[in-house]
Amino acid sequence: MWALVGRALAPWAAGARHAAASEPRAACRLFSAAELKEKPDMSRFPVEDIRNFSIIAHVDHGKSTLADRLLELTGTIDKTKKNKQVLDKLQVERERGITVKAQTASLFYSFGGKQYLLNLIDTPGHVDFSYEVSRSLSACQGVLLVVDANEGIQAQTVANFFLAFEAQLSVIPVINKIDLKNADPERVGKQIEKVFDIPSEECIKISAKLGTNVDSVLQAVIERIPPPKVHRENPLKALVFDSTFDQYRGVIANIALFDGVVSKGDKIVSAHTKKAYEVNEVGILNPNEQPTHKLYAGQVGFLIAGMKDVTEAQIGDTLHLHNHPVEPLPGFKSAKPMVFAGVYPIDQSEYNNLKSAIEKLTLNDSSVTVHRDSSLALGAGWRLGFLGLLHMEVFNQRLEQEYNASVILTTPTVPYKAVLSSAKLIKEYKEKEITIINPAQFPEKSKVTEYLEPVVLGTVITPTEYTGKIMALCQARRAIQKNMTFIDENRVMLKYLFPLNEIVVDFYDSLKSLSSGYASFDYEDAGYQAAELVKMDILLNGNMVEELVTVVHREKAYTVGKSICERLKESLPRQLYEIAIQAAVGSKVIARETVKAYRKNVLAKCYGGDITRKMKLLKRQSEGKKKLRKIGNIEIPKDAFIKVLKTQPNK
């Protein structure tokens, strides 16, 4: 997937140790604290004194803690006990204890009588944010691969290593948490040697929490990571690898300079939109924004150029000087959404506010795709594509926290494909293979030759005692085993081919509970495969509810249908007439639940008398209910929708 970017970055990343010989070497005078408060002169750092690196790891292996210690050690932030997750600026990151956005910080570090400029990027660890990691690696020449001395190599460690390997970056393995009681750095070193083919003696053993041996990490960055291979005398060529939106200043673009120099007042052009802008401010992140006079090739910083519209700062875009066009960098392969969900405002009067919030948030998180959508029950809204379920939850939480938006989120679905059968349909859709992101638009079996469902190659790393349970769980999810490797005597790595819709909702939770929290899981896209899929409609008194239409595998249709009917029965308010809730595949009803009617006691006034009088009253009542059922319109209240859509079916 990343071969293109890897090849494009190779000349910059594979890296010679020295910059062009023609470049004059600047005097290496150290910055004082007073100078740092003002605009630092970035020309003091020749290319050979710059190192750009990322920290990558599995979730909770100590990336953010190591970043905190590096910031303290270089004097970027003061040493206090409050320094926890300094680079995790979002509320959702602090609440959940995870990194969602990659964050950049420029560090000044003195070593061997010289002052070096180290640009650090702290990246997320969860599989749903791997796109964020791969974008960050494009601005680096090396990575710190952090591994927990207690947990050892886990699924995301493997995935992140191969992202860095593909981009041809130098990898420095760091074994963290050596202060823990059960830590076994020697065992972890052997795992790293076996899985990644990096000699165990190259591993740096540290405790980021206590600060033990962290200074050797900075020395290794200087000694083992090459400087960027760039040319400052060439015209400006800068890559936008991230961006945020500020209400007052417009778009703030994070840039990596491949060639040239940029300063305030320069006229720049976007290679993507061809629009010209005047640079209002440039600077470094230290870790907060710190303006500088100029930014030079090889450096990483931010740029503000009066981009007012969120669509103007495309991530992966190349910026160049006006009248000096350059060959655009290949940019990034667009992220491939794995999960789709409908997003609707709780109140339609909030539609425009929600639209603005989604636009601003998708600029900040470019891996989300947006399609307009509408529904009879929920009104106008959008169908958004996410990289995973956690990504969807975090996006929803950020909408609520940062933009005060309340939304209804529908059941997540995955993108299916259908191969059309007739020439007439191919002409109508203008392609033979169509992608379906909304289950309501799933074509009938008569129109297609076959259905395709997305599959992923999943990696599970688990202690050996849980292997049997986990293999049974994978088989229940229609997975096909591809490989099984013993990392050491206690840990095993399993590779399975999973249908995406089987793992997207609750697989991770089931895996964690089966393995007492020890197993880890990561997956990568593996294309599509043919499958027996059916569209399941939910009917209320014979009328279809479009929002509850789902696509399921034929084998699981009954289980999922029964589950949805049961939850609807609990959520729907009773009426004066009976409501039949049915799950149907085509014309065949496969599951049914009934909401009983309220019944007025029409016999209350009959204290005695002939039975025919009572029968007459009951007959009239039942006829009235039949008539009411014909003309009665069942409106599902929004809170009932929310209950059904938020609770996931048991698979």
CA–CA gap between residue 242 and residue 313 (Å, rounded): 9
Residue type, 188: V
Distances in whole angstroms, Cα of residue 416 to Cα of each of 90, 312, 340, 398, 512? 33, 31, 11, 28, 28
82 is in an annotated binding site: no
Residue type, 490: N
176 is in an annotated binding site: yes
Residue with tokens 């997956």: 523
Q: Among 319, 236, 322, which residue's Cα sits nearest to residue 270?
A: 319
99 is in an annotated binding site: no
126 is in an annotated binding site: yes
Q: What are phi and psi of 194, to 5 degrees?
A: -70, -45
Whether residue 173 contacts residue 198, with contact meaning beta carbons closer than 8 Å, is answered with yes
Residue 181, number of CB atoms within 10 A of its CB:
5
Whether residue 317 contacts residue 271, with contact meaning beta carbons closer than 8 Å, is answered with yes
Q: Among 168, 118, 169, 133, which residue's Cα sits nearest to residue 56?
A: 133
Rounded to a whole number, what is the distance in angstroms from the first to the last CA of the chain?
A: 31
Q: What are phi and psi of 508, to 5 degrees?
A: -60, -40
- Name the DSSP letter for residue 572: S
CA–CA gap between residue 441 and residue 437 (Å, rounded): 8
List Cβ neighbours of 185 (8 Å cut-off, separation of 6 or more): 149, 175, 178, 203, 205
Residue 595, number of CB atoms within 10 A of its CB:
20
Q: Which helix (H) or strand (E) holds 428?
A: helix 423-429
As given in the structure block, the two tokens for residue 234 are: 């060439």
178 is in an annotated binding site: yes
61 is in an annotated binding site: yes
Strands 448-463 and 294-296, bridge-based pairing: unpaired
Whether residue 551 contacts residue 642, with contact meaning beta carbons closer than 8 Å, is answered with no
Whether residue 585 contacts residue 535, with contact meaning beta carbons closer than 8 Å, is answered with yes
456 is in an annotated binding site: no
Residue with tokens 């952090």: 146
60 is in an annotated binding site: yes
| List of E strands, 363-474 | 369-375, 379-386, 407-409, 416-420, 433-436, 448-463
Concatenating the DSSP letter of every residue in 42-106 gives: GGGS-GGGEEEEEEEESTTSSHHHHHHHHHHHTTSS---TT-SSTT--SHHHHHHT---S-EEEE
138 is in an annotated binding site: no
Whether residue 268 contacts residue 319, with contact meaning beta carbons closer than 8 Å, is answered with yes
Residue 100, number of CB atoms within 10 A of its CB:
23
Whether residue 499 contacts residue 478, with contact meaning beta carbons closer than 8 Å, is answered with yes
59 is in an annotated binding site: yes
122 is in an annotated binding site: yes
Concatenating the DSSP letter of every residue in 336-362 gives: ---EEEEEEESSGGGHHHHHHHHHHHH
Instruction: Tell me the H-state helices in 436-588.
Output: 467-476, 500-503, 507-514, 557-571
- CA angle (152 as vertex; 146, 154 as ends), nearest 5: 80
550 is in an annotated binding site: no
179 is in an annotated binding site: yes
Q: Which residues define the annotated binding site?
A: 57-64, 122-126, 176-179
Q: Which residues define the annotated binding site for GTP?
A: 57-64, 122-126, 176-179
